[in-house]
Structure 1
Amino acid sequence: MSSRSFVAMAVSNPITLEQNFDRDTNQAKAYLLPQDVFSKDELAQLNQHSNVKGLVQLLGHLAIIMVTGFVWLDIDNLVIQIPSLIIYGFSIASMFAALHECVHYTAFAYHPFNEIVAWLAGLLSFYNSTFYRAYHIWHHRYTRIERKDPELTDLTPTNLWEYIWIISGIPWWVGKLQTHFLSATGQFQDFPYIRETAKAKIQRSVQLQLLIYLGAIAVSFYYRQAWFFFGWLLPLAVGQPILRCILLAEHTGCTLDANPFANTRTTLTILLIRRLMWNMSFHSEHHFCPSIPFHALGKAHLKLQPHLNNLTHGYLNFNIALIKSFFP
């Protein structure tokens, strides 16, 4: 039985081609597969998706957004406003992690919940879930395989100035604006991972998302208030560098092959980061078996840790080590 069939049997909903995040069979066969490490019962238990756990996680994330947003916008005290802005901004930016989990259909057992939350999380984080799903499937299928993994087209820092440029978030903003424009206008020729049958759906999804942003801007102008800027745009810009530091750790400096224990990095981090990032810090574990939901990745880590080639203690330590590598 192939790894694709094995994992598909373990989840509660049928997996279609557009929802399959398993590694390419030809690439993966040279390395360990989930059934080589976990028993069938263990994998079935790890793959149990939960509406309750997903909802609790989502509500906790939204609570952080609302509390820190209230302090940032309504409390006239810079001493607490600035820290609140940083947490508020990162909690908005890290809704990307909620989108990511939902795109995998692992946040909730009920598939429509994943679809809805993914789209709304993308609205907050300036991603489009419909586009990202197609992009991310290829990233998982061809992780770190040159000319196939779409993430390899992103700039990888080789010196301090490139690092600062990436961490600033500016390339991300430019890339998102370009991608949203091309998608909204139906120009998909540069995106080989977009299936012909998905193009119209993605175009409509991005168009709706952009219309909502324009509507929010219009309301702000109508009432002569800077709600859009101070409530979303500025906080997201503040939070984006933190997210960039985290996402850089996932694959930077890892091998260019199909081994998920070598081409991906797991980072052990503090509880707040784990919560806001929906346990994406267990990234090798996630790539090894993408059908495991966020709330079971910690348990999977306990068994997979001996296999991990790239294990870092803290995102700060990773980024410091990366900067030091620029000055051999």
Structure 2
Amino acid sequence: MSATMAGPALRDGAAPKPREMMHLNTRSDARGAVRAAVHLGLIVASGALVAVSPWWLVVPAMVLAGVVQAALFAPLHETCHYTAFKSRRANAVVGWLAALPALRNWHFYQQFHLAHHKHTQNPEHDPELSPPPPGDLAAYVYRVVGVPYWVAQLTVWARGWRGDLSAYWFIHPASAPRVVASIRVGSALTVVLAVVAGLVFGWSSVLLFWVGPQLLGQPLLRLYLLTEHTGCTEDANGLTNTRTMLTAAPVRLLMWEMPFHAEHHLYPFIPFHRLRDAHAVLRDRLAHVGTGYAAWHVEHVRELRQARRG
């Protein structure tokens, strides 16, 4: 087998250089369209389930719808790297639309996320570490419930409408006008769509199919995101500062293969549908490979409780 077919040879204590992994940089409009269509189908199906459920199953159905809606974070994230599709325009359009239900903005998040990649786990510069991971059980619950998340999104809206994003160091002054315009258009469109839906279908529909699912689904996304870097090294070593989670195929499908997160951080140019191949190359070198989200959080809560007693 040729070296190209076999993949790069790993050196002790090191990951392959980016140029050695470029054979996995195969972006595809078709792959992105299929995954986006599946995700859209799940949104429609979960919404239909809310509509037909008897009263005693409405909340569970809303939780399911919320999980699917919250998972729109995955295409938002992937498109920020222009790896969901081969077309840059398709990445921008799909990503911008995917951001709206959770009050996010694609242009703002792209700047935030690229800064996170540049300064991963650097306490002074990684924007994902502001605020830092919860240090006790009360802070953990507060984070998971989602209060800081919603406050942060509404704050971005408010600052966008004021036209002042200077509080966000990762927004370059040259990019700020475009980000401000995007925030204004996105937030206005979100409010208008919600009002129109309320007037046409009734405000209970807005609650059942959007507000309720978002409030119920975001905590599960908070749980998911906490596993990506919490407890990993605070340095620039991509093999140790990020965690990959080996999880069920439906989770990988819904999250656009993001559970292979260490692989993504090491090689952000690799599209979602090739991350499994990257994992095959790297799996024996990764310091943090979890075997399940529930198990990780059970252990993490136990550690937080022990720290409190100590």
Check whether TM > 0.5.
Answer: yes
Candidates 252, 265, 269, aligned match of 1:274: 252
Candidates 60, 63, 71, aligned match of 1:86: 63
Instruction: List runs of 5+ in structure 2 lacking aligned partners.
Output: 1-12
Match of 2:191 in 1: 214
Match of 1:68 in 2: 46
Match of 1:257 in 2: 235
Match of 2:97 in 1: 120
CA 1:221 to 1:277, structure 2 compared with 1: closer, same or farther past 3 Å?
Answer: closer
Q: 1:320, 1:170 → 2: CA distance?
A: 22
Q: 1:224, 1:192 → 2: CA distance?
A: 41
**Per-residue CA distance 1:128-180 (angstroms, 9 max, x = gap):** 11001111111001101121111111241121111111110111111111122
**Per-residue CA distance 1:184-216 (angstroms, 9 max, x = gap):** 321111111111111111111110111112212
Instruction: List runs of 5+ in structure 1 lacking aligned partners.
Output: 1-30
For residues 1-328 of structure 1, the aligned pairs below 5 Å read 32=14, 34-35=16-17, 40=20, 43-72=21-50, 74-78=51-55, 80-223=57-200, 225-226=202-203, 227-328=205-306
The CA deviation at 1:80 is 4.6
Q: 1:157, 1:192 → 2: CA distance?
A: 23
One-letter amino acid matched to 2:145: S
Task: Choose 304-313 or 227-236, whichever is displaced more.
Answer: 227-236
CA 1:34 to 1:201, structure 2 compared with 1: closer, same or farther past 3 Å?
Answer: farther
One-letter amino acid matched to 2:253: R
| Corresponding residue pairs, total | 293
The CA deviation at 1:78 is 3.9
The CA deviation at 1:110 is 1.0
Q: Give the TM-score, by structure 2 length.
A: 0.90
CA 1:67 to 1:221, structure 2 compared with 1: closer, same or farther past 3 Å?
Answer: closer
The CA deviation at 1:99 is 0.5
Q: Provide the identity percentage.
A: 33
Q: Give the TM-score, by structure 1 length.
A: 0.85
Q: Report the 3-state secondary structure (helix = DSSP H, G, I; strand = E; otherwise coil) of the residue aligned with 2:290.
A: strand
Conserved? CA contact 1:165–1:171, under 8 Å: yes
Q: 2:140, 2:285 → 1: CA distance?
A: 29
Conserved? CA contact 1:93–1:243, under 8 Å: yes
Could you say what the CA RMSD is over the residues aligned between the two structures, in angstroms?
A: 1.6
Q: 1:68, 1:123 → 2: CA distance?
A: 18
